[in-house]
Chains A and B, each alone.
Chain A
């Protein structure tokens, strides 16, 4: 089946068999992702002093679970998500409200919601739901729409509402990511650049006010970021040890399983947010640069898939999810190398943790779906039309 232009590829006529879908699947993209995951499992194995237990084995299991999720999501035509984007967003908001009311407190923050069978982290759901909702909103927006302030109020609220709820949990990292993802989508759909500067200026003015709303531990993190040596055994301990760990790797690193900082536990919770340091210590500048390169290729691939898509929703979906992924990378590495405050963002695909991996894989599944259905055309009204 060959596709030509709009009339043939209009979403109502757009039907792919399973075989076709499998053929059109972007294996290179998947391969890059899996490569990073396997590097991560290797680092977790090393971080446990050469043991599959307790992290590497579970991470492998989660990888297979996430991989099946990716497969399922990629095989679903994402037009479905265009249709239900607001519903999904609504569910996300409900879940966040649920956390605020019934949530489980873990690690000093209330992030989990027990749904009987599974623990759900609604802020993770929100990362995808917000991108879906914004893509849906801008799907039929004209440039002049985007440049008018009234038109931009609903999407701004779409972002502010969940960010407020997540801040309350409190989870500074996720809140910031949602803000940045929204900002990136606003940027690519064409909001004038001067408006960003106005907002940034406005926020700067508001910082002293926001400061008073921050939790003590959040304040502490920011203060510690500004001067970690101030409190070397307390709040600054993490970042100092983190820098020592990365720095001591040198050019080529100490070698696989030779990390002393990690083996001797100088970094608490090294398997989660600080996993990059273990890799840096063992594989040095070359290893960590290579990993960043790999991440950048995945990011570029994500944008490329967006470029290949034949409809605006697909493009925005791919761009938004890719930006989300990129933010993980930049914030995490920036934070462990002492460029950013420690805000609790994991290193994507590598840090130990199931929810983040699942969310990312669902996101990649959506990107794959965009790629598989790249010729599909969805008109401005596509979201409201029935099948």
Chain B
């Protein structure tokens, strides 16, 4: 064993070990350099990524602004309803839980399938909706049965509620869940990304969407890798949308809808001095609450397929020939152009011959000699045939436009239609045809190409009634301006017509209703001496053929509904110093006097009863002085709810016990007790 051998071997071993140590030292430096890169150079970025990992920002739904009527009656409000959710990880045997739940509240086959599907798809801690729109009592029932319903929890949910139901559906509108189309229309709105957000449809809900919707809140929570919320980091409360008050009177709205009965059509009431709309009814209507929870296909199809078209707002959207109501316009045009004087009489023989064509008066035998007032009273067609020939269509069109025909009233409901005021130029352009005398005659009795919406007719009548002051139609109250100021502002405008002319026309309208032989005599009213004036109109939907005329089929009741005449009635009251104008359109009602006038009379009677004088219209509800701060759900509300259900468990549900709330109680409490009371 040589020493050299051992020395050599050790020498190499030490040298190589030193090299190894050097190599390891380099590895250590590399690791430290790597950590330096990750933690110091890129540290900020990774810190951000870690923060992004651990936090989830969720928007919270703002409560929608309330809609009140002119007196503070709620037309649209939010109610706390409850929904039952299932959290699978808390349900050891979710199938049994579901079974037990169904014993309590039945679920449709469809729903059960959906729930089971969601149970399979969702993470065990994610709540699965079992049933929503539960009342407080139903939620309490679930809470009381908690031991049999392992995993089921009740959560509060804000639901839009329309207390008027079908009475205000068209004017107030409704809300419903979003469709893909809505997303495309407003790609930037953060609200639309929120599940459960319901957007306004039709009426004020649609038109005032941006005001009512409010500002979404934000919840920043810490989440773990599974997305489960660990704790709340930051919260910005959602801001409730603005409340607004409408010029509508809920009682009048309801009465008008009831007065319409089975008729399809529209009824409108306005304050002639301000243009405030007190009732805006379109029939048949539908329950606005139907859409808040997803509407069933069956109900939807029934609405869509109904020939009376319940979803259309006929008051602003329906375009009708104004018929004899337009004679008021022709009369004003004649007076203004000097073709008629109050004394001038025109002879009606029952028909007029133009070329080879006969134009009939509605009365076969004719009316004989008539003044303007009498012509209006009898609604004599021949008088106006004669008059229109003398005035010419240009003047009629000009006066019609002045009264707002052919243009939007700007009432503030989307989907309003313009109607049509035909002129020579228009006909040339549209039909490439000259204006004929027959067109003028049709014009004079409000038929032919001329169309107008009920709201336009209402404005025209209101302007005739208020002494010729131009009106803007309103649905939303303006809290900044008192009614007196508003009336003064309107009265400061230039009148559209001479007072004497208007007086004459109004006198004719008075005679229509209050003279024994007036067309609407049977619809006259007298509310404490306040009477109504008006004008009937029956417009043909189809021509009555010569054959039918000879065969004597003139009774509207013998015709199928679709072919019956439209019945219209435009009225104002009281005759001295008018307050209200009412227009009623009864589609295929058979006739203005028989179908529309009685409805208008009933509505007007209610209006005059509710507002016996000008002053009674003055007090408008101000939505801004009514603060509701607690519409958003929060924990204290939930605790509150738990407390209440605990009470319920101890004692049998006793409405009188839970119903008593002190004046200081928050609005939310009152709502809850409302629920109990139901």
Contact = CB atoms under 8 A, between A and B. Distances in A.
B57 interface: no
A247 B25 contact: no
A337 B36 CA distance: 11
Contacts of A312: 9-10, 13
A292 B32 contact: yes
Given A250-B39, A337-B35, A307 B14 contact: yes
B431 interface: no
Interface in A296-324: 296, 299-300, 303, 306-307, 312, 315, 319, 323
A243 B50 CA distance: 10
B17 A188 contact: yes
Secondary structure call for the B interface: helix
B17 A307 contact: yes
A278 interface: no
Interface string A237-272: 000010111111111000000001101111010000
Contacts of B45: 247
Given A243-B38, A248-B49, A285-B35, A264 B30 contact: no
A268 B225 CA distance: 9
B640 interface: no
B90 interface: no
Contact of A143 (B8, B21, B25, B225): B8
B5 interface: yes
A184 interface: yes
Given A288-B35, A315-B13, A264 B20 contact: no
B53 interface: yes
B28 interface: yes
A187 interface: yes
Interface in B8-30: 8-10, 12-14, 16-17, 19-21, 24-25, 27-28, 30
Nearest to B1: A380
B46 A247 contact: yes
B146 interface: no
Contacts of B34: 334, 337-339
A142 interface: yes
A110 interface: no
B226 interface: yes
Contact of B50 (A244, A296, A306, A315): A244
Contacts of B50: 244-245, 247-248, 260-261, 266, 281
B54 A142 contact: no
B224 interface: yes
A289 interface: yes
Interface in B231-262: none
A187 B20 contact: yes
Interface residues of A, number: 52
A40 interface: no
Nearest to B42: A247
Contacts of B35: 246, 280, 285, 288-289, 292, 337
A190 B13 contact: yes
B222 interface: yes
Contacts of A293: 28
B226 A300 contact: no
Contacts of B195: none
Nearest to B44: A250
Contacts of B73: none
Tell which of A249, A264, A334 has the most Cβ of chain B within 10 Å: A264
B352 interface: no
Secondary structure call for the A interface: helix
Nearest to A316: B13
A249 B39 contact: yes
Nearest to A339: B34
Contacts of A261: 50, 53-54
B593 to A, nearest CB: 75
Nearest to B12: A190
Contacts of A243: 38, 46
What interface size band does chain B fall in?
A: 35 or more
B43 interface: yes
A30 to B, nearest CB: 21
Interface in A345-387: 379-380
B24 A248 contact: no
A330 interface: yes
Contacts of B28: 292-293, 296
B222 A250 contact: no
A189 interface: yes
A141 B12 CA distance: 13
A96 interface: no
B31 A333 contact: yes
B646 interface: no
Contacts of B31: 292, 330, 333-334, 337, 339
Nearest to A326: B24
A284 interface: yes
A264 B225 contact: yes
B40 interface: yes
A323 B8 CA distance: 23
Contact of A251 (B9, B21, B40, B230): B40
Contacts of B40: 250-251, 285
B667 interface: no
A248 B46 contact: yes
Interface string B49-79: 1110110000000000000000000000000
Interface in A174-227: 184, 187-190
Interface string B608-650: 0000000000000000000000000000000000000000000
A303 B23 CA distance: 13
Nearest to A300: B21
A247 B43 contact: yes
Contacts of A241: 53
B24 A247 contact: no
A234 to B, nearest CB: 14
A92 B44 CA distance: 48
Nearest to A260: B54
B104 interface: no
B9 A250 contact: no
A312 B31 CA distance: 32
Interface in A106-141: 141
Contacts of B5: 142-143
A330 B27 contact: yes
A380 B46 CA distance: 57
B24 A296 contact: yes
A301 B298 CA distance: 84
A296 to B, nearest CB: 5
Contacts of A184: 20
B223 interface: yes
Nearest to B27: A330
Interface in A62-117: none
B17 to A, nearest CB: 5
Contacts of B14: 307
Contacts of B304: none
B553 interface: no
23 contacts: A141-B9, A143-B12, A243-B46, A244-B50, A246-B39, A248-B43, A250-B47, A260-B50, A261-B54, A263-B224, A265-B224, A266-B53, A285-B35, A292-B28, A292-B31, A292-B35, A296-B25, A303-B17, A319-B20, A326-B24, A330-B24, A337-B34, A379-B1
Given A264-B53, A266-B224, 14 more contacts: A143-B12, A189-B9, A243-B38, A247-B49, A248-B51, A261-B50, A261-B53, A263-B224, A265-B224, A280-B39, A299-B21, A312-B13, A338-B34, A379-B1
4 shortest interchain CB distances as A-B pairs: A247-B46, A248-B50, A264-B224, A190-B12
